[in-house]
Chains A and B, each alone.
Chain A
Amino acid sequence: MTERPTIEVVTGPGQCLRLAGAWRVDQAERLAAEIERSRQPVKALDGSEISALDAAGAMLLLRLAQRFDIAPGAVTLSDQHRALLDAVHQAQADDGPEPLLREARWRRVLAHIGAAVTESWGHLIQLLAFTGQTLVTLVKVVPNPRLWRPTATVHHMEQTGLDALPLVALLSFLIGAVVAFLGATVLKDFGAELFVVDLVAYAFLREMGVLLTAILLAGRTASAFTAQIGTMKSREEIDAMRTIGLDPVALLVIPRLTALLIMLPLLAVFAMLAGLLGGLLVAVYSLGIPIEMYISRVYETIELRHYLVGLVKAPLFALVIALVGCLEGFKVGGTAQSVGERTTSAVVQSITLVIVIDALAAIFFMEIGW
Chain B
Amino acid sequence: MSEAPIVIRGLKNQFGSQVVHQDLDLEVQRGEILGVVGGSGTGKSVLMRAILGLRPSQGGQIKVFGQHIDHAGGLEMLRRRSGVLFQDGALFSSLTVAENVEVPLKAQFPKLSARLRHELALLKIRLVGLSAEAAPKLPSELSGGMRKRAGLARALALDPELLFLDEPTAGLDPIGAAAFDDLLRTLKESLGLTVFLITHDLDTLYAICDRIAVLGEKRILTIGPIDEVTAFDHDWVQNYFHGPRARAAQAARR
Which residues in A have some Cβ–Cβ distance to B below 8 Å?
24-26, 28-29, 32, 54-56, 59, 80, 83-84, 86-88, 91-92, 94-99, 101, 333-338
Q: Is the CB of B109 within 8 A of A26?
A: yes
Evaluate contact between A55 and B156: CB separation under 8 angstroms. yes
Q: Do A101 and B136 touch across chains, with their CB atoms under 8 A apart?
A: yes
Write 28 A-B pairs (CB below 8 A) sorted by A numbering. Answer: A25-B105, A25-B112, A25-B120, A28-B120, A29-B111, A29-B112, A29-B116, A32-B116, A54-B159, A54-B191, A55-B120, A55-B159, A83-B189, A83-B190, A87-B190, A88-B123, A88-B127, A91-B123, A91-B126, A91-B127, A92-B126, A94-B129, A95-B131, A96-B132, A97-B132, A98-B135, A333-B140, A335-B93
Which 8 interchain pairs have the tightest Cβ spacing? A54-B159, A87-B190, A91-B126, A83-B190, A91-B127, A95-B131, A337-B93, A98-B132
Query: Judging by beta carbons under 8 Å apart, are A59 and B94 in contact?
Result: no
Q: Is the CB of A55 within 8 A of B127?
A: yes
Whole-angstrom distance between the Cβ of A31 and the nearest chain B Cβ: 10
Residues on A with C-beta less than 8 A from B190 are: 83-84, 86-87
Residue interface mask B162-188, A partner, CB < 8 A = 1:
000000000000000000000000110
Taking a contact as CB atoms under 8 Å apart, the answer to whether B132 and A99 are in contact is yes
For window 83-112 of B, CB contacts with A under 8 Å fall at 93-94, 98, 105, 109, 111-112
Interface of chain B, main secondary structure: helix
Q: Which A-chain residue is minimally distant from B96 (CB atoms)?
A: A101
* B124 A99 Cβ-Cβ under 8 A: no
Q: Quick check: A56 and B120 within 8 Å, CB to CB?
A: yes
Residues of B within 8 Å of A101, CB to CB, are: 98, 135-136
Q: Are A87's CB and B127's CB within 8 A?
A: yes
With A28-B116, A29-B111, A333-B140: A95-B126 Cβ-Cβ less than 8 Å: yes
Contacting pair A99 B140 (CB below 8 A): no
CA distance A338 to B139 in the complex (A): 13
The answer to whether B17 has its CB under 8 Å from any CB of chain A is no
In the assembled complex, B122 has its CB within 8 A of some CB on chain A? yes
Interface assignment of B3: CB less than 8 Å from any CB of chain A = no
CB proximity of A200 to chain B, nearest CB, Å: 47
Q: Which residues of B contact A (CB under 8 A)?
A: 93-94, 98, 105, 109, 111-113, 116, 119-120, 122-124, 126-127, 129, 131-133, 135-136, 140, 156, 158-159, 186-187, 189-192
Q: Out of B135, B189, B192, which one reaches A99, CB within 8 Å?
A: B135
Most A CB contacts (10 A, CB to CB) among B109, B116, B129, B140 go to B116
How far, in Å, is B184 (CB) from chain A's closest CB?
A: 13
Question: In the assembly, what is the distance between CA of A286 and CA of B186, in Å?
Answer: 83
A99 touching B136 by the CB < 8 A rule? yes
Report the bound CA distance from A101 to B99 in whole Å. 12
Task: Verify A95–B93 contact, CB threshold 8 A.
Answer: no
**Contact between chains at A59 and B120 (CB < 8 Å):** yes
Contact A94–B135 (Cβ < 8 Å): no
Q: A54-B159, A87-B186 are in contact. List 20 more A-B contacts (CB 8 A).
A: A25-B105, A25-B159, A28-B109, A55-B123, A55-B127, A55-B159, A56-B120, A59-B119, A83-B189, A83-B190, A84-B190, A87-B187, A91-B126, A92-B123, A94-B129, A94-B131, A95-B126, A95-B132, A101-B135, A337-B94
The answer to whether B126 touches A55 (Cβ under 8 A) is no
Give Cα A80–Cα B30 distance, bound, in whole angstroms. 15
Whether the Cβ atoms of A56 and B159 lie closer than 8 Å is yes
Residues on the B chain within 8 Å of A95, using CB: 126, 131-133
Q: Which of B113, B124, B189 contacts A29 (CB 8 A)?
A: B113
B133: chain A residues at CB < 8 Å are: 95, 99
CA gap between A87 and B124 in the complex, in Å: 11
A98 to B109, CA, bound (A): 23
B159 and A59 within 8 A (CB): no
Q: How far is the CB of B89 from chain A (nearest CB, A)?
A: 12
Enumerate chain A residues within 8 angstroms of B132, measured Cβ to Cβ. 95-99
Centre residue among B120, B131, B189 by max chain A CB count within 10 A: B120
Q: Which residue of B lies closest to A336 (CB)?
A: B93
**Minimal Cβ-Cβ distance residue in B for A100:** B136
Q: Which residues of chain A come closer than 8 Å to B186, judged between CB atoms? A: 87
Residue of B nearest to A1 (CB): B1
